[in-house]
Structure 1
Amino acid sequence: MTATTLRTALVIGCGTAGTSVALALTGAGVDVALLDEDPQALAEAVALGAGTGWTPRRPPAGIVVIATPPSAVVDVLHQAQSRGLGHVYTDTAGTKEIICAEAELRGCDLKGYVPGHPLAGPDAPGRAAADAGRFTGRPWVLCPYETTPGWALETAAALIGLCGARRLDLEPHVHDRVAAELSHGPHLVAAALATRFARSSTALLGLADDALRDAVRPAGGDPWPWGDVLAHNAGPVADVLDRLAGQLTRAAAVLREGAGSAPLELAVLLEQGRQGQAALEEARELRTPRDARTGDRV
């Protein structure tokens, strides 16, 4: 199947991610149906032009996109497959290893399911941030099973192409380690830092510069969707936090000791941070993740 032959889609979950997928597909000429257990969420997505409400009279969709929190994906997938709502199924959840394992244990049809994750931020209950261009130029990870047939992969690839994203295949555990390093761990760090200011005076906060606001910006995400994602990626996220906690604990000890070597020891950590910041900026210019230099850790 090619992008030109993906004619129908069903999007289950009308949060930011689901509505954005639906808007992109509708804009590409795909006939999109929408499902959500919240009637208001469904009505708002329809009003935005993301598609029409699903009815039992609709034939099976070419692809079903499950855009729910990670904890609901397998239940929704099993129910949708049992009802024959589509030919190929995928999801947008920000974790993959637990979902992939649970889908297999639940007895879902793995030949018709291609686990996925568009790397464009987590879903959210509202649709205020929904945008047809949300995924343009962004990586969209697929985590196929060893038994996934070519036709299912081609259908998922068609979805990605119509959304303007770039396909990247990863094993589920690799995806989760990457997500922990680049998104989940940093989000918790930003939240922890931001808690310092929750009850601070306006006079004090008015002295903050943009660098601090940029550092804590991820903490503005909706707590419930984020809590669900983090719990589904507990091990990799905990590993990231343990490493960061160790570095900060060592820095605090150096400062308390007040030794003459403190400036040098702190400079080592600061230099490593400078190199990391430079690497992130360099990566911004890469066309695809495959352009990057490979190292010995994710």
Structure 2
Amino acid sequence: MDVTLKQLRYFVALAETGGFGLAAAQVHVTQPALSTQIREMEDRLGTKLVERLPREIRLTRAGQDVLVRSRRILAEVEELAQSTRLKEGLRGRLNLGVIPTVAPYLLPLALTRIRARDLTLELRVREAQTDRLVEALRLGRLDAAVMALPVSEPGLRADPIATDRFVLAGSISRIATWADRAERLRPTEVSPDQLLLLDEGHCLADQALEVCAISARRQVDLGASSLSTLVGLVSEGFGLTLLPEIAIRTETASAPRLALMRFAAPEPSRTLALVRRQSSVDAAWADDLAEILRDAAAELIGMARDRTAPAA
């Protein structure tokens, strides 16, 4: 008998979780059932794939090679299914990833527009940091993802959807101290000791370091896990942060003490894009989705520019 797709999925789950119990829970079967399938897979391939240790598993050299091939096969199978699901545009089922500094702001508007096009669309959204979304795209677990450029993974295509500018955010009293710099403020003038960042791993934190020409985080770092947490801190006087335009409508509504100031032109920014596999076929659905995301982002950014006077 040949190796089955089910066995490939079980084997990949086992390799990624490092244990039979965790893998069984991930694929929703019992541990004995998963173990049996792995042994059958080894018998059919004629080689040992897994070293069974007391508290964990370790892949053999053959197992490592099979893992690479299994992921590739499963990605191709998922892409085949995708070509059928989405062959008529934005219909069927869509697996979409979004980075955390975009999801709570763009998704509410975008989802309303998506539903208006087709109420039958089955949409599954995953919020995660860029590296995890890229991996999920590569493995075929996501059809597309919204993230900030650049994305260096080969085999992916990025369609820009918005230029998202950064503004300086802080308490009313702190921002007032910059009043004499209005329309002349540069990101490099923000002291590293005042700048609060998201936790490491968030691309927005890396972008903030880059635009402010800061080489590394300080030893004392009040990094936060969400942009809303950062906004809450700075609005109460705990430093300053860079806030993307796309978040301004939501964050200013929940932080009445928050003040904003624009930087001098050219304003620092990030480019948001819809990223998918280059090999994706019948990409009309991607064009439809990118159009919806552009419209939603444009509305949010327009509101942000009304809320904050642009620099001259």
Q: TM-score range by the shorter chain?
A: under 0.3
More helix by share: 1
More strand by share: 2
Larger Rg, first or second structure (1 or 2): 2
With the length of structure 2 as denominator, give the TM-score of the two structures: 0.26
With the length of structure 1 as denominator, give the TM-score of the two structures: 0.27
Higher relative contact order (CA 8 A, sep 6+): 2
